A and B are shown apart, each in its own frame.
Chain A
Amino acid sequence: MSDVILEMRNITKTFPGVKALDNVTFSVKQGEIHALVGENGAGKSTLMKVLSGVYPFGSYEGEIYFEGNECKFQNINQSEEVGLVIIHQELALIPYLSIAENLFLGNERSRFGVVDWNESILKTKELLNRVGLNESPNTLITNMGVGKQQLVEIAKALAKKVKLHILDEPTASLNETDSEKLLQLLLQFKAHGIASILISHKLSEVSKVADSITILRDGATIETLDAHKDVITEDRIIRGMVGRDLTHRFPPRESKIGETIFEVRDWNAYHPLHEDRKVSNNVNIHVRKGEVVGIAGLMGAGRTELAMSIFGRAYGTRISGTVLKNGKEIDVSSIDKAIANGIAYATEDRKAYGLILIEQIKDNITLANLEEVSDVGVINEPRELTVTREYRDKLNIKCSSILQLAVNLSGGNQQKVVLSKWLFANPDILILDEPTRGIDVGAKYEIYTIINRLASEGKGIIMISSELPEILGVCDRIYVMRDGKIVGEMPAEDASQEKIMMHIMRKQEVTQ
């Protein structure tokens, strides 16, 4: 049982401007459950994408050995062929096909191109039995719950004669019973000699089933713990995940905090499609003048949903609650009203939601406040040019001209264009959603400087971020969010990464 089935040696993967993986070494033994943990952005998913061939051989440095043979996967098919199957965070099932059709998709039981339905159904029944799912092979995926869909995914992997499973956050959207079932299944596979790599934020699960735990941080392997030798506690894992130097990554700031400028009371919102799913659950938050308030939490905790539902009901249905500015209730029932009332929301996904990529920098900057550069509906071009140049200089947007198209800018500069747009709309409250996602360290520093300047101008700032060091380095006060609820609040001077992580991770055992 101690033979190594998978070995990844010195893997380095760079994206333009970012080193996502830095000399990572990772090995899995035959038939073990190996947990891979780390913060958002630590490089877990990237490592698994390298392993499974999503990033083909040649796009990274380093070597991969599977069962002793060097692997140079060009695509997922090749990795699946040797028995390496990845089950993604977002399920890859086709909703309007049946279980049987999904199980053998791309791997159809057929003779001369004609599907052999009898064999497919028979085989499906057998596989469903193995994962303990009691459903007819003809059931459509769309009619099943997420937990059962997850089991179908695993059955699909079994159909491919899997030797090593990779499960990326398999229990993220499952309730406790389903999670438990899934973990039992992993243990069962282990008994059959199938190894698993388990990526999970739920440390309780990790410490329950894992044989080894590898901790990644900032794209590098920190350590690998052996559950049979080391004493593994959640605190021990968390320390490995977050411990790092915080000096000089953030510009210094003196907070001058005034009166409460913005307040959200009893805020509730539901998912637009699954109308019984509450995405914001009785949220109460407030921001004071000159204050930077962070909202920490994992992906899927409901932070973006909260921000967007406040920002002119851009997300969610059946929204209820009140929003107050300077103590008076304001109307945020549509985006233009929210903007008119001095609220701005800079999105986490600047390419899809923040920018018109095929348009000029100038057009992007003025879009949210065209009234300011126009007279009775006619754009005053000289004024527009003056204004946009001013922002280019103020935020140091590096471009050949403000007539350059947004698509040709680097991530950091695109982010500055998005910020310029919202600064030009002259808001009193700025909600910044992952303002430094995917941009390099230098640009991050500039963005932090801008945030500090805005706060010193007396604006109220809400910063959503998955990077704890950033939250700690920039914010005055921190909310922790999980499952649509605010589960913690602390002033920055009392906060530490460990403390925030505790709130994020531990609360889930208490509440469930």
Chain B
Amino acid sequence: MKIPATFDETTGGSALRKTIAGLFKSNIREYGMLIALIAIMIFFQIRTDGILMKPVNITNLVLQNSYVIIMALGMLLIIVSGWIDLSVGSVAAFVGAIAGVLIVKNHMNYGLAIVLCLGIGALIGAWQGYWVAYVKIPAFIVTLAGMLIFRGLTLVMVRGESIGPFPVGFQKLSAGFIPDFFKMEGFHLTTMLIGVIVSVILIYFDLRTRRNQQKYGFEVTPFYFSVVKQIAITAAVMGFSYLMASYKGIPNVLVILFPFIVVYAFVTNQTVIGRRIYALGGNEKAARLSGVNTPRLLFYTFVNMGALAALAGLIVAARLNSATPNAGEGFELDVIAACFIGGASASGGIGTIIGAVVGAFFIGVMNNGMSILGVGIDWQQAIKGFVLLLAVFFDVYNKNKSV
């Protein structure tokens, strides 16, 4: 009796170790960046004596990075399909300038102006998509040209000055917060409530996925792992909600941002279009020979990017309360870096929306943390460059190891 028992114990123990190691290994791409994000948050939290996680700073972090995240959603699709878009910063500035001219100078209704601007963004995307998808000029060149063209046109539109201020309603796009239905003093209870609802929804979907996987006989992660994961996610959501509730509540921009993230994650994971974009980036010829209209798909990927860049441009204009000639300068680099840090592959076919969002927050936390510490803009750039290289190296290293 004794020997089998020990035997069982040891095999049980090694199997457990194996699964933990295996889980970590197989999910390193998925969780690696998240762990890095948490690590860097802890690092800056300590170095800034707790300023990083102050409610006002966390809210600022969201506001500062909302447009990077929005553009990263579109950029991820472009990178997954195997290309790149260098023009997004200029396009955002250009659309902001148009908004300035329409709303401030011509007193157009800002609702109408927003719709118009998004349309113009989509048209710009169509213009670039046409050259890339149908004329087959490499996107690097087309969008490098776009970067110059739309920066130049921005200068033409604003004539070298800032146009502002925008009406209060337009500013709310970026500066406002959702109303509190409970009117509690110093605490935004609605925000907390939304946090609870989101947590419950997340847990429900995770359990459903698990059940489905089991139903179809797939190996699922051990239940304790799932529980730990859920506790961690719930804690993060609740903590985040608490911090924002302690300040002014959920910013309007997050109300825009969150559904966008959910919708884009859904589209990439669960829909025919998403599957085709990954196929296009994974092997364009094979996708084409499987009946995917690859040029059209690529074209619409750029249209989508243009519209999202326009939305980002509007949010930036609302946040600065003016359309300026150099708005959005260097955004493209943060956006592209966010995608790569989030695990997207430069050769296409690989990358996730959640990864890009985590990547954007990673860059955001670095920008924010280094600014609080008083690191100069010069060193900030250099450090960001190294981090980007390191992240991609990590990814390439892992990929080589797994093949």
Contact = CB atoms under 8 A, between A and B. Distances in A.
Interface of A: 311-312, 314, 334-336, 338-339, 345, 347, 352-359, 363, 366-368, 370-371, 374, 377-379, 381-382, 385-386, 401, 403, 407, 421, 425
Interface in B250-278: 270-273, 275-276, 278
B374 interface: no
Given A335-B291, A363-B279, A382-B216, A356 B349 contact: yes
A385 B216 contact: yes
Contacts of B286: 352-356, 367
B293 A336 contact: yes
Interface of B: 212, 215-216, 218, 270-273, 275-276, 278-279, 282-283, 285-293, 349-350, 403
Contacts of B293: 334, 336
Given A355-B286, A363-B279, A382-B215, A368 B291 contact: yes
B272 A368 contact: no
A379 B275 contact: yes
A431 to B, nearest CB: 11
Contacts of B273: 377
A331 to B, nearest CB: 14
A499 B299 CA distance: 51
A353 B275 contact: no
Nearest to A314: B289
Given A367-B275, A374-B272, A378-B271, A356 B291 contact: no
A371 B292 CA distance: 12
Contacts of A403: 218
Complex A-B, nearest 5 residue pairs according to Cβ-Cβ distance, in ascending order: A356-B282, A368-B290, A336-B291, A339-B291, A367-B290
22 contacts: A311-B289, A312-B291, A335-B291, A336-B291, A336-B293, A338-B291, A339-B291, A352-B283, A356-B279, A356-B282, A356-B286, A358-B283, A358-B350, A363-B279, A367-B290, A367-B292, A370-B272, A371-B272, A374-B272, A379-B271, A381-B212, A386-B216
Contact of A358 (B285, B288, B349): B349
A353 B283 CA distance: 8
Main secondary structure of the interface of B (DSSP, over half): helix
A425 B292 CA distance: 13
A377 B291 contact: no
A421 B279 CA distance: 14
B212 A352 contact: no
Contact of B282 (A311, A339, A357, A374): A357
B275 A363 contact: yes
B133 to A, nearest CB: 15
Contacts of A421: 290
A401 B216 CA distance: 12
**Best-buried of A314, A363, A371, A379 by chain B (most CB within 10 Å):** A379
B274 to A, nearest CB: 8
A335 to B, nearest CB: 5
A379 B288 contact: no
Given A336-B292, A378-B271, A382-B212, 6 more contacts: A314-B289, A353-B283, A354-B286, A358-B349, A358-B350, A378-B270
A358 B282 contact: yes
A3 to B, nearest CB: 49
Contacts of B278: 356, 359, 363
Nearest to B274: A379
Which of A311, A354, A356, A385 gathers most chain B CB within 10 Å? A356
B285 A377 contact: no
B289 A345 contact: yes
B289 to A, nearest CB: 5
A49 B142 CA distance: 42
A421 B290 CA distance: 9
